[in-house]
């Protein structure tokens, strides 16, 4: 066991793993576990905030590292938040100065389970317990959560959430080709939504770049993003849910993805213009993350999303969007979902700025 005091960057602890990609045998380092203060960020299940007074943007945290031969008992109840992830290769923790600290390193082909547990004395210095032990690979897991910030911040208490999530679920059922799916006629239509957001134009337009979906999961962050190159050489941003527990099923629940990339007309702040496609996954899949190697387009022709912006006298920005080239059966559902997405941004900024 080893303990040290570290400064954590932006209220967060980052765990970095080496990830091997089975389709090209390459190995890259990826952030697969993020513990921080933002419920809309972080690839695995939960976000943890440190409440101690910070010094120049960093939080002082007492960190303990433990390598043990078998799965350890769960920490005391004073450790209110506990998350786990499987790893193979080098596992490191990044501190507030972007320096990395080795947690463990597995032999070739070996796997470990890594658990991060957070304790927040009140008052007192935050504590982070990092444990690793040999174990077969398994999915990332939120083991223990005492509070549920996303629920409090913006999830189901927003009036737009109910219709937006219900519409997403109906679209997701169609994408999954699951029981209850609708028969699509082949006719196309256009979804639309608009909303005023109290923020600068540059901030608003940045929110409508490729690869962004804003729904936080009830257990924290439940979506992943990345890059995908199709057979024609076009590079897409991907966003997909990690499992069926994510509340937003706009991409389905079977690792289907939302694929987006800028169109030639993309020229913010005049116009944000994206190609938008639903991609159904094709094997092989990554053994731990479940990431697919390739996607098959769900729609026969890529749909298009246009975002236009209007400055208001109260200095807010009205976003008006049209999503065209979608099945007519999806128009009402997608309009409700886009309204929900805009509401997430509006409510989030109102809470952060007090406007």
d(CA 168, CA 163) in angstroms, rounded, equals: 9
Helix (H, G, I), strand (E, B) or coil at 190: strand
| 257 has a pLDDT exceeding 70 | yes
3-state helix, strand, coil in the chain (%, to 5): 15, 45, 40
| 258 has a pLDDT exceeding 80 | yes
> In CATH, which of 1.10.3470, 2.60.60, 2.60.34, 1.10.540 is domain 2-147?
2.60.34
> pLDDT for 160-172, tens place per residue?
888 988 899 899 9
> pLDDT for 101-149, tens place per residue?
777 887 777 888 888 887 876 666 778 888 999 988 776 676 776 544 4
Residues 6 or more apart from 25 whose CB is under 8 A from it?
none
| 48 has a pLDDT exceeding 60 | no
Q: What are the domain boundaries of the chain?
A: 2-147, 151-353
- The strand order across the sheet containing 58-67 reads 2-9, 58-67, 127-134, 112-119, 79-87, 141-144
Question: 186-195, 197-206, 252-261, 298-307: lowest mean pLDDT where?
Answer: 252-261
d(CA 68, CA 85) in angstroms, rounded, equals: 15
d(CA 163, CA 308) in angstroms, rounded, equals: 23
At 299 the pLDDT is 96
Identify the CA nearest to 254 among candidates 278, 228, 218, 274: 278
The CATH-assigned architecture of domain 151-353 is 2-Layer Sandwich (3.30)
- Residue ranges in 74-221 assigned as alpha helix (H): 149-153, 161-176, 201-206
- 196 phi, psi to nearest 5 deg: -90, 135
Decide if 28 contacts 103 (C-beta within 8 A): no
Identify the CA nearest to 318 among candidates 329, 326, 327, 309: 309
Residues 6 or more apart from 256 whose CB is under 8 A from it?
172, 175, 176, 240, 278, 279, 280, 281, 295, 298
Question: 174-178, 223-227, 271-275, 322-326: lowest mean pLDDT where?
Answer: 223-227
At 39 the pLDDT is 33
Could you tell me which residue, 234 or 20, shows the higher pLDDT? 234
Helix (H) or strand (E) holding 272: strand 272-285
At 30 the pLDDT is 41
Q: Beta partners for 35?
A: 13
Identify the CA nearest to 57 among candidates 93, 96, 25: 96
| 49 has a pLDDT exceeding 60 | no
Calculate the average pLDDT of the chain. 74
304: confidence class by pLDDT, cuts 50, 70, 90: very high
At 20 the pLDDT is 41
Question: What is the SS3 assignment for 131-164?
Answer: EEEECCCCCCEEEECCCCHHHHHCCCCCCCHHHH
State the Cα torsion 42-46-52-58 to the nearest 10°.
Answer: -10
Report the percentage of the chain scoring pLDDT > 70: 65
At how many degrees (to 10) do helices 331-353 and 161-176 cross?
Answer: 130
């Amino acid at each position: 066991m080893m303990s040290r005091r570290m400064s954590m960057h932006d209220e967060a602890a980052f765990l970095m793993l080496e990830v091997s990609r089975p389709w090209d045998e390459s190995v890259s380092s990826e952030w697969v576990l993020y513990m921080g203060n933002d419920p809309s960020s972080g690839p695995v299940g939960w976000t943890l905030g440190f409440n101690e007074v910070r010094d120049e943007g960093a939080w002082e945290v007492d960190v303990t590292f433990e390598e043990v031969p078998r799965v350890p008992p769960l920490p005391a109840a004073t450790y209110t938040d506990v998350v786990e992830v499987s790893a193979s290769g080098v596992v490191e923790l990044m501190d507030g100065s972007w320096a990395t600290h080795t947690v463990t390193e597995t032999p070739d082909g070996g796997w470990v389970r890594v658990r991060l547990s957070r304790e927040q004395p009140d008052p007192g210095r935050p504590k982070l317990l990092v444990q690793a032990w040999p174990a077969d690979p398994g999915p990332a897991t939120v083991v223990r959560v005492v509070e549920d910030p996303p629920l409090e911040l913006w999830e189901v208490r927003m009036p737009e959430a109910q219709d937006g999530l219900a519409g997403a679920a109906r679209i997701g059922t169609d994408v999954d080709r699951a029981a209850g799916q609708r028969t699509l006629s082949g006719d196309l239509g256009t979804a639309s939504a608009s909303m005023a957001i109290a923020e600068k134009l540059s901030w608003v337009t940045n929110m409508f770049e490729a690869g962004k979906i804003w729904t936080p999961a009830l257990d924290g962050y439940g979506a992943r993003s990345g890059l995908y190159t199709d057979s024609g050489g076009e590079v897409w941003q991907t966003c997909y849910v990690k499992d069926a527990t994510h509340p937003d099923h706009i991409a389905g629940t079977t690792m289907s993805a939302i694929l987006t990339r800028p169109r030639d007309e993309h020229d913010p702040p005049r116009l944000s213009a994206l190609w938008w496609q639903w991609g159904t996954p094709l094997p092989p899949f990554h053994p731990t993350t479940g990431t697919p190697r390739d996607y098959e387009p769900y729609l026969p022709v890529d749909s298009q999303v246009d975002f236009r912006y209007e400055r208001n006298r109260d200095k807010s920005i009205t976003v008006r969007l049209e999503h065209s080239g979608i099945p007519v059966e999806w128009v009402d559902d997608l309009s409700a979902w886009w309204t929900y997405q805009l509401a997430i941004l509006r409510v989030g900024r109102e809470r952060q700025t007090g406007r």
